[in-house]
Chains A and B, each alone.
Chain A
């Protein structure tokens, strides 16, 4: 299954095309910074807050780019996706906008808020029991019965191109604001967001791009170092629930290997501290997984002195309990 993905890989033009498609549908999230925080840090920290995106995370971009390309004839079959989190909401919102039905297969024990949000966005939620049922089988059944199209969370060229519009916006907005980023840091789970962003940056600003991960789910970092796709142990735990893919995607890793300057990782405690800084200094709500790139910058996993760094805060779907925990950290 690793066989020659090169022909499937998205190229820069795919991102430009995705940007046209997303215009008016995805929010153009602003670039934010706090001059007082910058003074304290000794470098310029600019945040791309995808927590302000439709559905509270960047996932809407890829989902809309993918779903809006489904041929007319296949639209009646709707879409199907597996997710307990941000991808579910992105897919539900995008398909509703396209007038398509979406079925999201979620574990029975998923947080009620996420199930409710997915339903509110127009998705039909099918709950399954993690212990006794196989979600792939349920998905296959829906595909054959209804002719539904499966929307993968990251390993799909149009998903990657959609997420890459973030990189394009960083290039355009920084130019309008009159500065040039020296470094860009992006959270990585399966690697769709960071690979797309890196592809966009490589065709525009051309500065180094790093991935950021939880230290217990540093599969992209390990894979970059090893030169091949590596997995983290199956029993690994992290509070960064949005980034718990144990292995990089095939397509995403092929891009990341070519485009990334390196992989960074942060502890859960560092992610919590970054959430607190986001809440109190940047006035935005960031979920633990969304805060890892910010955490990598704040704890200077790279030497950033005097530089301008752009970090993507990829999502804000954190429970109040988690926010309270971050505030107490």
Chain B
């Protein structure tokens, strides 16, 4: 098992090798959530996530022979970065297995750190089976992403630092994927204050630890913005530790996670990846539970793809009624489109995109649809523009998921 003294030793070991990340108070999120909110910024960690802590501690424990032989890991994300970064610094050859369909940018980022990348397997789980087999055959150490005492001790140091900054927290909310970060968090926090509540949270697409608590078989599938915690099977060791320290594992909805990423950008001016935003999603989903309490959120990472980030931001505008897409039917005669543009312009809408569908729409030949994306002030403004169009005889339908309530 892992003890608090292992975490303290890990802390000494890590000094100078990873960043001592800041904790910031967040008046803005506090106001929003009705609680006293503090953020442990592991998105500021080297390689952009807490993973670098555990991987360093694990590799620091290798014998000279093991270092020489090299290490193997399986991950397309933060664990790959953590292992790759330290292996290079420590002069240990590292081979990282990633699924065959891994985006080029993720491969390139890991290779840039000095690791060799091998694309094999359909999923990370398959890549891991292959990697473990190769490690076994070649006599190399497989660096597990979470189910390892060294890794858990390393991840626990993040909570140690958080409690050094804010010793009197009532609650810590921590994301759970395989459970390494959360296990370390529980051990560090309960050694500090046995009454502190630790709330572990998963994404609803991958509720594997929640299921383990119910002795249900794990099942998780599909795409999630919280790819860092999209783990199909929780660790054995981590499950055992978490069961001793928390009564249950919470689940948040995908839409709430996306919204939390957006809130971090809008309100806190921080870039947080989906899995790192899960604690905020939890806080916002159940504010009564945390009202007026001193809450620490472990913001576990900030590695979000730039295109994904862009679409979260733009979808946020749609949600707020600041970007709307209208489908307008017009009689296919000269000047109809100009008239529509005039009505929208007069009402203060800003047209950002027009798609004219004359050829392929399933509409009478003398009618045509035009899809127009407009920037608007809010949902009232959208409604006002739609009414103006209808009043002039242009049938108008809202295409985006803008809510007009």
Cβ contact within 8 Å between B378 and A320 = no
Which listed residue, B113, B265, B269, touches A52 by the CB 8 Å rule? B269
Quick one: closest B residue to A111, CB to CB?
Answer: B377
Interface residues of B in 132-163 (CB under 8 A from A): none
Q: At the interface with chain A, which of B171-179, B305-313, B360-368?
A: B305-313
A324 within 8 A of B: yes
B388 within 8 A of A: no
B316 within 8 A of A: yes
Which listed residue, A30, A51, A320, touches B317 by the CB 8 Å rule? A320
For A, the interface residue count at a CB cutoff of 8 angstroms equals 29
Distance in angstroms from B160 CB to nearest chain A CB is: 18
Cβ contact within 8 Å between B306 and A56 = no
Distance in angstroms from A93 CB to nearest chain B CB is: 9
The answer to whether A51 and B378 touch (CB under 8 A), given A30-B24, A327-B306, A327-B309, is: no
Instruction: Give Cα distance in the complex from A316 to B377, angstroms.
Output: 21
Q: At the interface with chain B, which of A182-190, A280-288, A293-301?
A: A280-288
B270 within 8 A of A: yes
Cβ contact within 8 Å between A27 and B25 = yes
B193 within 8 A of A: no
Which listed residue, A285, A320, A328, touches B271 by the CB 8 Å rule? A285
Q: What band does the interface of chain B fall in when counting residues whose beta carbon is under 8 Å from A?
A: 20 to 34
B48 within 8 A of A: yes
B85 within 8 A of A: yes
The answer to whether A323 and B265 touch (CB under 8 A), given A27-B24, A284-B270, A328-B310, is: yes
Residues 311-329 of chain A, each 1 if its beta carbon lies under 8 Å from chain B, else 0: 0000010001101100110
The answer to whether A321 and B317 touch (CB under 8 A), given A36-B47, A112-B377, A283-B48, is: yes
Quick one: closest A residue to B276, CB to CB?
Answer: A283
B44 within 8 A of A: yes
Instruction: Give Cα distance in the complex from A51 to B265, angstroms.
Output: 11
B272 within 8 A of A: yes
Distance in angstroms from A274 CB to nearest chain B CB is: 14
Instruction: Give Cα distance in the complex from A289 to B85, angstroms.
Output: 33
- Residues in A with CB closer than 8 Å to B309 are 279, 323, 327
- Residues in B with CB closer than 8 Å to A29 are 24
Residues 66-102 of chain B, each 1 if its beta carbon lies under 8 Å from chain A, else 0: 0000000000000000000100000000000000000
Instruction: Give Cα distance in the complex from A4 to B366, angstroms.
Output: 76
* Known A35-B19, A285-B270; further 14 A-B contacts with Cβ < 8 A: A27-B24, A30-B22, A34-B46, A36-B46, A36-B85, A279-B309, A280-B306, A285-B271, A286-B269, A320-B266, A321-B317, A323-B265, A327-B306, A328-B310
B interface residues (Cβ-Cβ under 8 A, vs A): 19, 22, 24-25, 27-28, 41, 43-44, 46-48, 85, 113, 265-266, 268-272, 302, 306-307, 309-310, 313-314, 316-317, 375, 377-378
A interface residues (Cβ-Cβ under 8 A, vs B): 27, 29-30, 32-36, 49, 51-52, 54, 56, 112, 276, 279-280, 282-286, 316, 320-321, 323-324, 327-328
Q: What would be 23 A-B contacts, judged by CB atoms less than 8 Å apart?
A: A30-B41, A33-B19, A34-B46, A35-B19, A35-B46, A36-B46, A36-B47, A51-B269, A52-B24, A52-B268, A52-B269, A52-B270, A54-B27, A56-B269, A112-B377, A283-B271, A285-B270, A285-B271, A321-B317, A323-B265, A323-B309, A324-B310, A328-B310
User: What 8 A-B pairs come out closest when comparing CB atoms?
Assistant: A316-B269, A283-B302, A30-B22, A320-B313, A285-B269, A51-B269, A283-B271, A283-B43
